[in-house]
Chain A
Amino acid sequence: MDKEEILRANEQSLAHLRSIYGDETETVIADARYGFISGLLKDVLKKPPIERLTLSDKIDRVVVNRWLGIPLFLGIMYVAFQFVFTLSVPFMDWIDAGFGWLAGLASGIGGWGGSLLADGIIGGVGSVLVFVPPIFLLFISIAVLEDCGYMARAAFVMDRVMHKIGLHGRSFIPMILGFGCNIPGVMATRTIENPKDRLTTILINPFMSCGARLPIFVLLAGYFFAAHAGLVVFSMYIIGIIVAVIVALVLRKTLFRGISSHFVMELPPYRLPTVKGVLTHMWERGRLFLRKAGTIIFGVVVLVWLLNYTGALEPIGRAIAPIFTPCGFGQWQAAVSLFFGFLAKEVVVGTMGTLFAAEEGVLGGAIAAQLGWTPLVAFAFMVFCLLYVPCVATIATIKSETNSWRWPIFAIFYTTAIAWVVATLIFQIGRILVG
């Protein structure tokens, strides 16, 4: 029997059934299965006449309420970021003081070795490691929200919004995970059944501000927006979400036309998170950051130091810098930092640390003094870092998840283009407003 013939017979059957049912056959089949189940359950399952509201149900009346849901979600996120920011400051000061002391010892050695140790390694890696407290606290917040069952509610609440942009709530979980790191975010899209939904969700995931971008925000917001630092960092996450939403909308109208599928959203009961569970989840994510600091960031920082020490870095920076003049940060140091930031976003801070031979505590001041940045420039730079090219590891993950080079390459260019346009708009419009 010819297989082609079976397929032709199948097409005829489908057309015939469509004419009878006026609906797709797959729907008819799924309905029959659910019908079977509901029939079976009539015999098997006896529920109490009036189902008592569980505590979870009572909480859900408020949390997933049509009007309260979204404000509550934003409120919870805001509190989480304030928690991260406020609590981490003293710890960061201690670590910073420790590295400052180490750098002082190292520069005593003198010569190129002393410079490599003090300016290169301690200045570079040290200025990244200072961000261990906020990153780990961010991961703790995410773990608590996940483990207690709130993240599923957030997805449920966002489902309505997501439908408006042509996606569904299931796309929201990968986006939330992206706040930790885009790699698990991209991988979590596997639960999305519709390929177009999945690809859209993968492509917008890099706009979710990952933990590696946090050091950039904390550094610049801390110096340039002192009292409002928490709010400015929070705004980065919101800008990321807004850009992601707009891009998703555009993608669904252009490259990935079609209707998104409807699914039952899972709402597991609320549970009290355990300390062990939260710490395990924090460590699973946090150790990747530490490993990066020990490997790729260390390597890049030494490379940057070497290029700088030999005088090769400045010409590279000057060649790229003019591209960023319209965005307000056309200095070669900024260009070099962004260039190496492609390897890992923390490297942006690490590179600055090496270039200005300064640890976190004084790095903000050094940037303001030597580059002449205003808060507006710093804000435009933060937005650019938020939106531009995903890091190498994320690109590799997009490649393996989509099984082609087309989408990672697309992601590299379109994110950077968007970053440039948005940063330029912020700087140019801001300049007119500020006067």
Chain B
Amino acid sequence: MVKKITIALAGNPNSGKTTVFNNLTGARQHVGNWPGVTVEKKEGSCSYQGYSIRVVDLPGVYSLTAYSPDEVVARNFIVEEKPDAVVDIVDASNLERNLYLALQLLEMGARLIVALNMMDEADSRKYRIDVEELSRLLGAPVVPMVANRNRGTEELVKKIIRVSEKEVQVRGLVINYGREVEEEIASLERLISQDGELSRKYSPRWLAVKLLERDEDITKKFK
């Protein structure tokens, strides 16, 4: 009996996302369009130890605000299709900027795996990254990789399966936005929780933060 898993690949542009996608799926990919918009949708699949993994390549984005069609597409897929796992490809030599997306994915409640790519580049700059500590602080598994030499791919696949099977828990992340903002988040959260329709689909806290960020796409859902 083959078990089916769906995962999404997220990541900043230039993080090596395409290389990871190719490593995972090989030649088994096809290209289409996301419904309603002209953003390219790439999909592929891979098999591993009795699992058939469908890999959906999300557009490369820096954040998940709803400013560009790419960002909306990426976010909607995660919120609406609820993939079994989301792999965020992170450039290890550029952690500061790349982690912003990881944070947003975790806030959304995505079952996130951080693929710490370009470890060789970080090494050559003599960066020392404490992978375990990073995983602990983010509350999500972290897999070091060098995608363009196909290193770490198998570990990533194993981790994908364990996260999908809920053998590894993704704790999720709650960022403290400061006392005053948190007070407003809490009161909005209370109001949102009373709306059955919205709170079934989204986490009320996430919606509250998005409203405070004046997210157009989310604001529309309240009209």
Contacts and interface: CB of A to CB of B under 8 A. Distances in A.
B125 A3 contact: no
Interface stretch (B18-26, B50-58, B61-69, B80-88): B61-69
B100 A37 contact: yes
Interface in B128-142: 128-130, 133-134, 137-138
A114 B113 CA distance: 67
Contacts of B14: 266, 268
Q: Mostly helix, strand, loop or mixed at chain A's interface?
A: helix
A100 B194 CA distance: 79
B70 A191 contact: yes
Contacts, number: 135
Contacts of A20: 180
Contacts of A3: 195, 198, 221-223
Interface residues of A, number: 50
A41 B184 CA distance: 28
A1 B177 CA distance: 26
B213 interface: yes
Contact of B68 (A14, A16, A54, A191): A191
B209 A29 contact: yes
A433 B222 CA distance: 64
A394 to B, nearest CB: 14
Contacts of B188: 6, 9-10, 13
Interface string A1-45: 101111101100110110011001110110011101110110111
B39 interface: yes
Interface string B169-191: 00000011110110010011001
A221 B123 CA distance: 52
B95 A45 contact: yes
Contacts of B187: 9, 13
A193 interface: yes
B195 A47 contact: no
A153 to B, nearest CB: 14
Contacts of B77: none
A40 B68 contact: no
Contact of A48 (B13, B125, B129, B181): B125
A148 interface: no
Contacts of B212: 10, 13-14, 17, 25-26, 29
22 contacts: A1-B194, A3-B221, A6-B191, A6-B211, A10-B211, A13-B212, A14-B214, A17-B180, A17-B212, A24-B214, A29-B212, A32-B181, A37-B95, A37-B96, A40-B99, A40-B138, A45-B130, A48-B127, A54-B125, A190-B59, A264-B97, A400-B38
Interface of A: 1, 3-7, 9-10, 13-14, 16-17, 20-21, 24-26, 28-29, 32-34, 36-38, 40-41, 43-48, 51-52, 54, 187, 190-195, 198, 264, 266, 268-269, 400-401
